[in-house]
Amino acid sequence: MEQMHDASAAAVPTIKSHQPPIAKLLVAEDDVPLAHFLQRGLQTQKYEVQLAHDGDAAFQALSTTQYNLLILDLNLPKLDGLSLLSRIRPIIPNLPVLVLTARGQMEDRIQALDGGADDCMVKPFSFQELTARSRALLRRNRNSAGGVLQVGDLILNRADFRVERSGKKIELTAKEFTLLEYFMMNARRTVTRAMIMEEVWKTAYDGSTNLVDVYVKYVRDKVDAGFEIKLMRTVRGIGYVITD
């Protein structure tokens, strides 16, 4: 079986495609050659892959960008993998995390899993196995998301594009529905205007426009109007959050 310490020297073909990426991955790995090997290899699988070479950089990336999977080395400088996990789990509880570790002891793997990891691989490892485990985690996360999102008494049904709060139907435009869906997928996590623009409008954020703020107001007025408890809140200087 091909092992990772040999694979880093292998040539990885470049795939040029106009297809959108299957998912967005963050690889947090301080071994720069290995990190770049993983990035190139995963890109051939049509993933969008970004790198962070220390724990602080990884935390910053996770705080500002929405990822579908984190591949995390435990022995990161500045902020180690377990400490990073303890920080992100309260704010990104549903992010799948695949841990990479050079520590072969079972106790270390158990500590990583108990600390919030979803899966764990010991170095050296097969790149094919890593991609298979990544696919499984992404598939599991999609299946667990289901067609219904709920925050407090607010329910969004993806299958029939229906939104209700305490049994009262809320009428939304297509873009308002997509925006609310994004908020509810990131419930209790503050999202920035740049994140919203990138994920909902699929374009880079332009600080000269108030498009995001206008649409957030549209959705907030419909979701919170007439209810004592307000679910959508402004986080001054950062962005917005929906929380119960």
Q: Domains in the chain, ordered, with CATH?
A: 4-145 (3.40.50.2300), 148-242 (1.10.10.10)
The C-alpha atoms of residue 226 and residue 156 are separated, in whole angstroms, by: 18
Give the per-residue pLDDT at 21: 60
- Residues of the chain short of pLDDT 50, as ranges, are 1-19
Give the per-residue pLDDT at 10: 40
Residue in the block written with tokens 């709060």: 165
14-30 as b/e: b if 16+ CB within 10 A: eeeeeeeeebebbbbbb
Paired tokens of 154: 């607010």
Give the per-residue pLDDT at 33: 94
The C-alpha atoms of residue 54 and residue 56 are separated, in whole angstroms, by: 6
Q: Where are the beta strands (DSSP E) in 131-181?
A: 148-151, 154-157, 162-165, 168-170
Give the per-residue pLDDT at 213: 93
Give the per-residue pLDDT at 9: 36
Residues whose CB is less than 8 angstroms from the CB of residue 141 and which lie 6 or more positions away in sequence, other chains included: 68, 69, 94, 96
Paired tokens of 152: 């407090």
Give the per-residue pLDDT at 205: 82
Give the per-residue pLDDT at 237: 86
- The answer to whether the beta carbons of residues 5 and 124 sit under 8 Å apart is yes
Give the per-residue pLDDT at 7: 42
| 50-56 long-range Cβ contacts below 8 angstroms, 24+ apart | 50/24, 50/25, 50/26, 51/26, 51/27, 52/26, 52/27, 52/28, 53/28, 53/29, 53/77, 54/30, 54/78, 54/79, 55/28, 55/79, 55/80, 55/81, 55/83, 55/84
Give the per-residue pLDDT at 142: 63
In single-letter form, the type of residue at position 76 comes to L
Predicted TM-score (pTM) of this structure: 0.58
pLDDT in tens, 2-44: 444 444 334 443 434 444 567 889 999 999 999 999 999 999 9
